[in-house]
Amino acid sequence: MSPIFFFFYVTNSKACLRSIRTLFFSDTSRAKDKSQVQDAYSSAITPLFTCHTVPQFATSWKYVRERVRPATMKVNQNLHWFKKGIKPMWEDPRNKYGGRLTICPPRALLDVVWETVLILMAGDVLDHHGEGTGAGTHCLFFFSLSLYL
């Protein structure tokens, strides 16, 4: 049986995720002033939803994916999927000494790859010993997807 089937546990008749997660959207196109980059960047990050159960994740993600797709985002727009309490910034203490693995799938596959990573991270399948903090999809001059470890 695939590990994807073990990504939640049942308590009080609800399928709970092992880690509470938050999906953020950021548009950093206006964060150009180098003297205030960190403040501009952190103010451009908006939480879209937080979930702790499989039904919450499914309902919230369905709503978001109908409106925001990584392959159609504009330059400097990003989606971030992080554990609750961790900001999608290197300055966050849980990210400060970590690293990231970045892949650049073809634009035609970006949405499918991103959704697969979201589901695998929600189920802690990609979270080796609890060290993974999140994932992000980024649109700079190319499209990329990063895992933050």
**Domains of the chain listed by start with CATH number:** 3-148 (3.30.760.10)
Tell me which residue of 111, 134, 110 sits closest to 122, measured CA to CA. 134
Global pTM reads 0.82
Reported as a single tens digit per residue, the pLDDT across 17-57 is 888 999 999 998 776 555 556 677 788 899 999 999 988 99
- Phi-psi sector, 71: left (phi>0), alpha (psi -120 to 50), beta: alpha
Burial of 132 (0-12, 13-18, 19+ CB in 10 A): buried
The answer, yes or no, to whether residue 96 has pLDDT greater than 90, is no
- Rounded Cα gap, residues 52 and 99, in angstroms: 25
Reported as a single tens digit per residue, the pLDDT across 8-17 is 454 555 788 8
- Rounded Cα gap, residues 85 and 142, in angstroms: 29
- Rounded Cα gap, residues 138 and 103, in angstroms: 11
Taking residues 94-101, what's their average pLDDT? 87
| Residue 136 neighbours by CB distance under 10 Å | 22
pLDDT band (50, 70, 90) for residue 5: very low
